[in-house]
Structure 1
Amino acid sequence: MEKSWIVDVPRDVYVQGLLGVYERTDASLLKDVFIYAYERSAARYAEVRQTLGDPDPFRLRYRDAIRQVISEVITQKLSPPAAKDHLVGYARQLPAPDQDSFINVVEAELLALHEGNFARYRVTPSQFAAWQAVWKEKA
């Protein structure tokens, strides 16, 4: 049985619900489908949330700054030494107790960048590829 886009709802059940609305103006089956899907989704969210644990408060506090500095490193095609200088300069704007942690987080994020996660830093594939060539060459 083929799945629909709704969590754990067979496509045929979803289609029957839609047909009920369009052919008989009866939304009861579709309503049941959405309630079922919502409950399943909520249960999965609780499982995932429990598995992942609490978000890192430091990363939450500085998520915009982390995104900005990494985006700048990529769009400016900075080599590892230039990126380190840029990062240290950026970190100096932060409260002193947070500077080292910020540098460590950003460095770890830069080292973990790959084709599957660079989009979160709002850069284009061509910008990422150009930066990656410089980054690997100078590393």
Structure 2
Amino acid sequence: MNLLTFEKKVRSVILERGISYYIEGRVDDVVEMPGNRFAGEVAGSDVYEVDCKVDSNGTIIYSYCTCPYDMSSVCKHEVAFYFYLRDTLEVVKNDEEKAGSGMRRVLLDLPKTDLVDLLLSLGDNDDQVLKEIHRFLEG
């Protein structure tokens, strides 16, 4: 799995939740360690630790989250972390410039119903988001 294309291999519900967590700024305290290994925290119902190693091409060598989710190999916390890494790592940024903006590309590829669900879920957590949606629709 690669940081540029991981969303193609993640269940849509997990992808949506991970995007929400990333957009909401729930990824924090990310540190880079030797060997292209990254660790950080992602806030959900609790604060979970995510550990991820990528190679120089952005391929995810391994990833681990301390949350109890076990329904697939990747959880929403890891997805949020991947988006963070994709937006901050230089090697991935250089490849991404060739392929187009990462977050924009992901959002453009999502089905309309998923985008509506994402906006409504963000609005449930933030009145300002709902106001912006209403302003956009009226404008």
Query: Given the two structures, how large is their TM-score scaled by the length of structure 2?
Result: 0.28
Based on CA coordinates, which of the two structures has the bigger radius of gyration? 1
Greater share of strand residues, 1 or 2? Answer: 2
Greater share of helix residues, 1 or 2? Answer: 1
